[in-house]
Amino acid sequence: MNGTAYRRPTVATVVALLQRSAGVEEPNEETPGLTILHHGLQCAAHLRCTHPEDAQLQVAGLLHDVGHLLAPGQEDIHGLVGAEYVRPVFGERVAALVEDHVPAKRYLVAVDGAYRALLSPGSVRTLAKQNGPMTSEEVKAFGASPHFEAVVCLRRADESAKDPVAQVPWLDTWLSTLHAVAG
């Protein structure tokens, strides 16, 4: 992770990282006031509504951009960095969803022409840094992922969660879910 060693995180250290992200604007977005935390809370709230039975997906929505805090300016690897950080606490599925939310954008742009039109200007810019749309071979391999459907849902929620004035439940409402998913 960018040459920096991280201690094994706990739910408490992940929550502390999220709390710090309340003061960090979402990188690459032109929306003033959209912080990493507010973006994650919007994404998680959306997933709670659309997938109320899938707490792991909701937690992945909340955590999907923590890699921006751990490796600032590295849009191409923020999913991988975030996944490595959350894996010891929240397990393989949450980590896979966090990691694959970046390739899911590349997938959706390759297979869904309407999706590209939904991308924010920041997402369009970072798409180039993330190797652009997937090739047909990459699309086929990505579609075979065991987490394919969930990560596509996460990616769509990610793109819709960019309203700096959206009213969503605050971080404290997620503590019991975070602890439950952590086991």
By CB atoms closer than 10 A (0-12, 13-18, 19+), residue 34 is buried
Question: Which residue type, as a one-letter code, is found at position 108?
Answer: L
Domain ranges of the chain: 11-21+32-182
Along the 183 residues of the chain, how does pLDDT read in single tens digits?
Answer: 444 445 789 999 999 999 999 999 888 777 788 999 999 999 999 999 999 999 999 999 999 999 999 999 888 899 999 999 999 999 999 999 999 999 999 999 999 989 988 888 888 888 888 889 999 999 999 999 999 999 999 999 998 999 989 999 999 999 999 999 997
| Confidence (pTM) | 0.92
Quickly tell me which residue has 């503590």 as its tokens: 175
120-136 pLDDT, tens digit per residue, is 888 888 888 888 999 99
Q: Which CATH class is domain 11-21+32-182?
A: mainly alpha
| Residue 161 structure tokens | 């969660």
